[in-house]
Chain A
């Protein structure tokens, strides 16, 4: 009947419209409201960063002083050459070194400077004449007969960025032959004063993990701290016997005079904060043995490893920052175990009476027994000689920070760093390795973060993380560009920004939510919600389908 038909049609339309609403409005709405907010990240640029192609450019200037070149050779100079070296470190890291060498003869003023009696004065006057930019090296070739360099010394490296090379008397031949003879010496000097391939590969250790490093570079990489935005340096005075010794150390003045200049010079590389403390009744965990021939107590090399742990438990540290800590301890032995000497592997006395532990710090033993006799009134007032103490701590600090050059070719003489604690070329070395290390670390952090976010679809990516990642990517690209152009200071600054941004993005506390939902838990949540709703719709649709099929069969039967 008509009303029954109308009812059936209404029923059909109702079912269809409900199904349409569910499919067209409900499902997109549910999808949109349950998706996690993921801000846009520059994935393509990050993928480019994964394959790192670094080019390090540096400028070298070689100056020939009078007597090293024949007049015909002098006519060809000034001359500039570019030398490039390519290394494929692993499948996605490529290095290219570009040395731009300029050859020229010395000016009159430079000749005057080289005529000075001592090498330090010559170095100082040369520095006054011209200031070489950060990252460059200037080499002066002086004739063999010159008395400026002492006997047996082939190369003298000054406090700034200059080196004096002992050359030869005017050789015959073309300029090219002379340069060919000079080149290995120049390379050797560059390896010492600037970066060497092994330094750079060690700095890239993050990316090329698993490769076999040589023993020396493994020890070096384990000793120096990894690049970090800041370091905490703590000086501690350990006094196990306050009844006998009343120790006084002017730590503030000593830090201001000796340590602060070094830290100020290292300011572009990292921030440093210094503090100090005095610990009373702190004992070494090892019993020293009495050595009759030296009439002193000795600590053998094997027992040194067990000294640090009991003391470290008592040291205080700055709880506010998470920067790596360097501890420098000064131990004054008590009156009954004095003097205390450290012996090395071969039972020989160590002149500095100090030892250090990689990535931790150093301990120096300061003996005061000879400063007072047995009749002195206890407690004896002792003023500690901070110059001697700081000399040892400064060398340990230089080792810990990775500044100390460890392998010297024979015939090299280095000028001591002086009051600044750090020579310019050592700073340049550190800047080279640090910028490469920062770039490598930042790129691995960003690529692994992008991979992680891709893999786990449930993590919320907030806007601030996306902004940090974008700024890290731009800083990285800028750092690589500056390294290519040879601007070392800018490269280091950009690499520092890159690493700060990438670390902040990677370690953001919000990246932990919604990590893992097993599939059965997802089903257990959605089925009670959707099943009761879908069952009537599906059943009515199936019923409609059944009716359509029946009516089609009837129509076909009617036709036949």
Chain B
């Protein structure tokens, strides 16, 4: 049976090879499934995850964002490609009975905070202006790499927003709003500069569907947790922590994502079915008319994971010249002893200052106090 299995395996491999080979001389493309290399058209993945509310009772929004962050990291996107914006620090909030943790399931089953969270924009840095600057790339030149969205025309970007919203706006930090027109304009500016190949936009707020109504740039796929006029509800409170831990849509989204692994073949149609009305109470919506591919052929890992395309290197350059020895400057380590400073009497300025102070003192209070000094 062993040899039969090996034979059938090699037959299958040669079948893939036949299907995938297109006569190029020096390349051999590695294909898991024939055509997968070309179907998505992206070479790297980015994620922008934003939680826009502050205050302790909005614990669930931070937990939402952190659970998406956790799934995205688990499926392979590295921290350098994730821009995480959290408007408040729940893990170190003084009302948190379990500090340094943020739970998503009641009875504290799953700590989504973990010990390797990298928050790029924290607290008051999460503003509409910074969010739009990250998306459009108009950041001041001193901004470090970790705070920038350095996507190119072959990047698939996942954008997740959560917080309190309304019909056509999303509230930031309880003090300002971003409107759906501004968001659509930001995406159009990203498209003009080819800063994305495809965008998956997920929003978990009340009346979330209004936020993607005004999109007009191509290659955008949008999901929302509720339609206009509906509220997105929270899932379950935890009696020990005292607040609601997660929102319903993201809770079921997290459950769905926990079943996905990097080689999974689940597609977007499954994602559209997450959290039906019976579980979510609100009606999740999606918008696919601006998206060029059929959602049934889009893998979840195209946006949530980071599956790299690899090619085997067939050639190597023949190098024969000997290595030039770079002269190293002699490295000397200097041990610095604390310098011995000799004591000098106080110089003129100090003397003058103290004389002035003493004179004024005695002028004010009278000369008779001199006797206490001498």
Contact = CB atoms under 8 A, between A and B. Distances in A.
Contact of A222 (B13, B25, B43, B78): B43
A406 B318 contact: no
A320 B143 CA distance: 8
Given A222-B43, A419-B321, A421-B317, A317 B30 contact: no
B192 interface: yes
B41 A222 contact: yes
Contact of B179 (A253, A304, A396, A518): A518
A252 B41 CA distance: 37
B313 A319 contact: no
B341 interface: no
Contacts of B325: 250, 253
B319 A509 contact: no
A87 interface: no
Contact of B314 (A318, A352, A417): A352
B138 A304 contact: no
A369 to B, nearest CB: 20
A339 interface: no
A347 B319 contact: no
A538 to B, nearest CB: 34
A515 B182 contact: yes
A433 to B, nearest CB: 16
Interface in B184-220: 185, 189, 192-194
B148 A322 contact: yes
B315 A301 contact: no
A302 interface: yes
Given A302-B32, A319-B144, A322-B148, A358 B309 contact: yes
A313 interface: yes
B308 A507 contact: no
Contacts of B181: 516, 518
B320 A392 contact: no
Interface majority SS (helix, strand, loop, mixed), chain B: loop
Given A216-B24, A302-B32, A516-B185, A509 B315 contact: no
Nearest to B16: A345
B29 interface: yes
Interface residues of B, number: 73
A354 B311 CA distance: 9
B31 A354 contact: no
A253 B37 CA distance: 37
B133 A305 contact: no
B229 interface: no
B44 interface: yes
A340 interface: no
Contact of A319 (B145, B152, B321, B322): B145
A417 B320 CA distance: 12
B143 to A, nearest CB: 9
Interface of A: 205-206, 209, 215-216, 218-219, 222-223, 226, 250, 252-254, 256-258, 301-302, 304-309, 312-313, 317-322, 324, 342, 344-347, 350-352, 354-360, 362, 364, 386-388, 390-392, 394-396, 398-399, 404, 406-408, 416-417, 419, 421, 444-445, 448, 451-452, 456, 506-509, 511-512, 515-516, 518
Given A257-B322, A322-B145, A395-B315, 11 more contacts: A219-B37, A345-B28, A345-B312, A347-B13, A354-B313, A355-B310, A364-B313, A395-B313, A448-B192, A452-B189, A512-B136
10 contacts: A223-B311, A308-B310, A320-B144, A347-B10, A351-B316, A359-B154, A362-B313, A388-B319, A396-B313, A406-B26
